[in-house]
Structure 1
Amino acid sequence: MTERMVAIIGGSGLYDIDGLEQVEWVTVKTPWGDPSDAILTGTLQGLKLAFLPRHGRGHVLDPSSVPYRANIDALKRLGATDVISMSACGSFREEMAPGDFVIVDQFIDRTFARDKSFFGPGCVAHVSLAHPTCARLAATVGDAAEQAGATVHRGGTYLAMEGPQFSTLAESNMYRDHWGAHVIGMTNMPEAKLAREAELCYASVAMVTDYDCWHPDHDAVAVSDIIRTLTGNAEKARRAIAHLPALLDPGRPPCPHGCDRALDTAMITAPDKRDPAVLARLDAVAGRVL
């Protein structure tokens, strides 16, 4: 049993939770550079929480320039055990309507301009990503979202694109009809991969703002409609977070899916061949096994 700290990675406003106590913005230095912003820490009904604005306060970072490695390292250094990603997305499915929440359980990674691993020359490791999210944490987050009044779809494939432009119509139709994706966004990769390498339980809440351009009514959607949906989604996300303390004990048993032991069989480089400089950078994310 370890002490639980739930980290929320998301947009502006998600840290504005009624009842949050002992609030402090903490600056964390990492070997991977600075994270997106300072991290807000606090407690909610005894549950330790941390909030990291993925794009920085004021949305100053585009998806390709988010420092994903620094973000995950910083959360691990602070003591995070569980990470909940909350992000806006487009929907490929009629039934996953704007305003709905999708609890993602699979990813297709189409990003190409991002550092995707903490490991590399000097210390090689390969973690399993067959099931890239934590089923236990995802189920709890789904329960919290339903209690907050959201329409929740449990399970879905998230297509992660590089951006910052949105898809072409041909791409949208391919992702939907041939690849079987359910939602599309720009930020959950390599975030999920890095969380697994850092032995953190990771759950993703894709908050639908619009139908992607495959939908015949796509061009009729006004920016004001999307902003209205974004605002409503943020409010439901805050309410969902407020329900977490009743669903998650401060004491955290080992993950039944092995997320917190992902490196047990991942290390490949022989101990006597590992680069000390590389190991020094891995002190937080891989300290348990190194």
Structure 2
Amino acid sequence: MSDKTVLGFIGGSGIYAVDEMDDVELKQVETPWGKPSGPVVTGTLAGVRVLFLPRHGPGHAIPPSEVNYRANIAALKILGATDVISVSACGSFREELSPGTFVIVDQFIDRTHARAKSFFGTGLVAHVSIARPVCPKLADALEAGCRELEIPVVRGGTYLAMEGPQFSSKAESHLYRSWGCDVIGMTNMPEAKLAREAELPYASVAMVTDYDCWRDDIADVEVTNVLEILQQNSQKGRALIKSVAPKLGPDRTPSPLGIETCLDFALITPPDARDPAMVEKLKAIAGRVLG
């Protein structure tokens, strides 16, 4: 892992660019898992190298279930990312998490079912822990950035990842509230799991656009309503990206969770039983432990 910060940003709905980067280039990346959502925009912010990837591709053409999450994380890893921050839209399950609030989530419940969720598989098996899926160092920087910009922010919360692309039924919305979930979205899983497998510290800021559909006193969530709040949130989200880079700084501090070495004890298949083709493929994200 580099001793210099290379900050990967994955932009969700409404976040399609980073403002005011220097030395901007577009990088086309091919990974062993195919192409990412689009070209990666590289540049510098406050002396920090930045990699930006719009999750849904140019023009928001890729729905949540068809995003190539493995290729996205692999592309950032191949380009040298040391840390990954996700910025995404979400619905709220809590009265106090009103539209316009940014939630720096710290837990996830994965209810997706149609997505490839691991880089590993037959020929080389690994089990990483995601008990603590979010890096506190990155969460600290996000919280500080929000407070500096006077963005309403809540630190901590559980993100329910649904398959989509449809919004919830009322029954689902009430169920997820009863589970203690705080926000709902369609994209942070398996993204967070894959970042951990790639030994990349990850954090997510979820930008609330609506109250999902659990409240009876307001209209159910509609795209037209979401888009209005989304536009307001996107301006704040781009400002937050700019503010986070200098807070992390060009000289990198490792994650307090030791995420950069989490594969040391995660590989289950012994070396003599590993599929050579699988090993070669996985070097793109696990080369540190595979040689």
Question: Is the TM-score greater than 0.5?
Answer: yes
Distance in 2 (CA, whole Å) between partners of 1:221 and 1:194 is 30
Which residue number in structure 1 is paired with residue 199 of structure 2? 199
| Aligned partner of residue 264 in structure 2, secondary structure | coil
Distance in 2 (CA, whole Å) between partners of 1:53 and 1:114 is 18
- C-alpha distance 93-229 of structure 1, shift in aligned 2 (>3 A): same
1:222, CA displacement in angstroms? 6.3
Distance in 2 (CA, whole Å) between partners of 1:159 and 1:220 is 18
Which shows bigger deviation, 28-37 or 245-254? 245-254
Distance in 1 (CA, whole Å) between partners of 2:262 and 2:231 is 36
- C-alpha distance 159-220 of structure 1, shift in aligned 2 (>3 A): closer
2:29 equivalent to 1:28? yes
1:256, CA displacement in angstroms? 1.5
1:50, CA displacement in angstroms? 0.8
Within-5 A mapping of 1:180-219 = 180-219=180-219
- C-alpha distance 55-221 of structure 1, shift in aligned 2 (>3 A): closer
Which residue number in structure 2 is paired with residue 156 of structure 1? 157
| Aligned partner of residue 126 in structure 2, secondary structure | coil
Distance in 1 (CA, whole Å) between partners of 2:127 and 2:223 is 42
| One-letter amino acid of the counterpart of residue 27, structure 2 | V
TM-score (norm 2): 0.96
TM-score (norm 1): 0.96
| One-letter amino acid of the counterpart of residue 289, structure 1 | V
Within-5 A mapping of 1:83-94 = 83-94=84-95
Distance in 1 (CA, whole Å) between partners of 2:253 and 2:112 is 34
| Aligned partner of residue 245 in structure 2, secondary structure | helix
The answer to whether the 8 Å contact 2:199/2:263 transfers is: yes
Deviations for 1:118-169, whole angstroms, at most 9, x for unmatched residues? 0111101000010111111111111112212211100000000011111110
> How many residue pairs get matched?
288
| One-letter amino acid of the counterpart of residue 182, structure 1 | D
2:67 equivalent to 1:48? no
Distance in 2 (CA, whole Å) between partners of 1:149 and 1:95 is 17
| One-letter amino acid of the counterpart of residue 105, structure 1 | D
The answer to whether the 8 Å contact 1:157/1:180 transfers is: yes
Deviations for 1:194-215, whole angstroms, at most 9, x for unmatched residues? 0000000100111000001001
1:226, CA displacement in angstroms? 2.4
Runs of 4+ in 1 over 3 A off after TM superposition: 11-14, 220-225
Within-5 A mapping of 1:1-290 = 2-11=3-12, 12-18=14-20, 20-177=21-178, 179-219=179-219, 223-290=223-290
Extract unaligned runs of 5+ from structure 1: none
Deviations for 1:24-50, whole angstroms, at most 9, x for unmatched residues? 111000000110100000001201111
Distance in 1 (CA, whole Å) between partners of 2:218 and 2:110 is 24
Extract unaligned runs of 5+ from structure 2: none
Q: CA RMSD in A?
A: 1.3
1:217, CA displacement in angstroms? 3.3
Distance in 2 (CA, whole Å) between partners of 1:109 and 1:209 is 20
Deviations for 1:86-130, whole angstroms, at most 9, x for unmatched residues? 110000000000000000100000000000000111101000010
Q: Which has the higher helix share?
A: 2
Distance in 2 (CA, whole Å) between partners of 1:289 and 1:124 is 13
Deviations for 1:200-240, whole angstroms, at most 9, x for unmatched residues? 01001110000010012341666544222101111111111
1:172, CA displacement in angstroms? 0.3
Distance in 2 (CA, whole Å) between partners of 1:221 and 1:160 is 17
The answer to whether the 8 Å contact 2:15/2:87 transfers is: no
The answer to whether the 8 Å contact 1:149/1:236 transfers is: no
Identity of aligned residues (%): 59
| Aligned partner of residue 278 in structure 1, secondary structure | helix
The answer to whether the 8 Å contact 1:116/1:194 transfers is: yes
